[in-house]
Amino acid sequence: MLRDRLIRDQYINQCDPEFQNCDYCGAKDVACVEPPRLRQWFSTLVATYEEDVGGKPLVQLLDEEWYLFRGSGLRSAEAKELLAEILDDGEFVRKTFAKIEYPDEGALRSWEDLRDELMHQNRWFLDRPMDMGRIRELLGYLITPQSAFDSDKWYRARLMDSGGLHDLCDMGAPPPNLAKHGRANPVGIPYLYLASTRATAVAELRPHTGEHASVAAFDLAGSDLKYADLRDPRNHASPLVDDEDLIFRLRAGLPLLERLGIELTRPVQPSGAPYEYIPTQYLCEFIKTCGFDGVLYRSSVSTDGGSNVALFDPDVTKPLSVEEVAVERVSVEIGV
């Protein structure tokens, strides 16, 4: 099964699907359509490539650039056969191609300039403002609703001191007068930081072996929330749209989206946090103005693949319970 978001959420339902076993990947009792029904969307995407004798097979390019066949269970030959049937052209998929480059608008370079200016030169009145309209357009490809998650429970942890387990009412975001600067929030503006798993919530505390933590579960069920998902933009953004120009702009903007996700994830030393967090705070404040309820980002310390979310309004979620956990082991990895 192809994992593309638009295929999964929209196009399959538009193409009279039947629930059966997939002839290509072997998945059991899934919604299947005749491959040619997807041709109109793939044809637009394929038009953004050109034949190149020194290039790569089209299937390889689509997988490297857009992750179209990643995780589908298809071998390369099977993916090529499927694409040939979608396009109704077996010879076409045997040729080699290169992507047609979109004129470089310098978006990534502009982010680097903006980041440096915010940290070390100007804070409120910028000499070199970035094209935030472009950022707004790109964020539109990264919308993830609350309904997309397997569980409505998210978690927050706090290290325990001699006072014992924290009360559930103390496990939410701090009041504005106590809100310190965070990865996403400016000082004095509280956001609620939650993790998708208990282990990730505790790992974010950077605890020591033997310490104890209070871990609270929060319920987001029934909340019609919309997140900007910066965990893996290349895997989340779909290129299967009906406009070549949109595909070109997304292709040019993907490195920027990936860099923004890295900015939210990369570790920051406590001594540098007061100014190194400023660019991501600026970014998250802008994301909030775009109508999002929060931003999703990878955890740099999680060992179970958990994710983090910064909720702009702490009151959109409901605390459920709190428990005590012990930190049994802390793992350390070093670079060379």
Q: In this structure, what DSSP letter does residue 53 have?
A: E
Q: How far apart are CA 36 and CA 280, in angstroms?
A: 43
- Written as one letter, the residue type at 73 is G
The angle formed by the CA atoms of residues 190, 193 and 196, to the nearest 5 degrees, is: 165
Whether 299 has a pLDDT exceeding 70, the answer reads yes
The H-or-E segment that residue 259 falls in is helix 244-265
Contact 251, 239 (CB under 8 A): yes
Whether 27 has a pLDDT exceeding 70, the answer reads yes
pLDDT, residue 163, reads 79
pLDDT, residue 21, reads 87
Could you tell me which residues come within 8 angstroms of residue 43 by beta carbon, excluding any fewer than 6 positions away?
87
pLDDT, residue 156, reads 97
pLDDT, residue 336, reads 61
- For 220-245, what is each residue's pLDDT tens digit? 876 688 999 999 998 888 999 989 99
- Written as one letter, the residue type at 255 is P
Whether 14 has a pLDDT exceeding 70, the answer reads yes
Q: How far apart are CA 120 and CA 87, in angstroms?
A: 52
C-alpha distance from residue 144 to each of 137, 200, 292 (Å)? 15, 20, 10
pLDDT, residue 335, reads 65
pLDDT, residue 152, reads 82
Sequential DSSP letters for 34-48: -GGGGHHHHHHHHTT
Q: Where are the beta strands (DSSP E) in 43-161?
A: 49-57, 96-99, 143-145, 153-159
- For 174-225, what is each residue's pLDDT tens digit? 999 999 999 999 999 999 999 999 999 999 999 999 999 999 999 987 668 8
pLDDT, residue 105, reads 59
Whether 248 has a pLDDT exceeding 70, the answer reads yes
How far, in whole angstroms, is CA 110 from its chain's centroid? Answer: 21
* Single pTM value for the model: 0.88
- The mean pLDDT of 12-32, rounded to a whole number, is 86
Q: How far apart are CA 111 and CA 132, in angstroms?
A: 10
The angle formed by the CA atoms of residues 96, 1 and 240, to the nearest 5 degrees, is: 55
- For 127-136, what is each residue's pLDDT tens digit? 888 888 888 9
Whether 332 has a pLDDT exceeding 70, the answer reads no
Band the pLDDT of 31: cuts 50, 70, 90. confident
- Written as one letter, the residue type at 54 is G
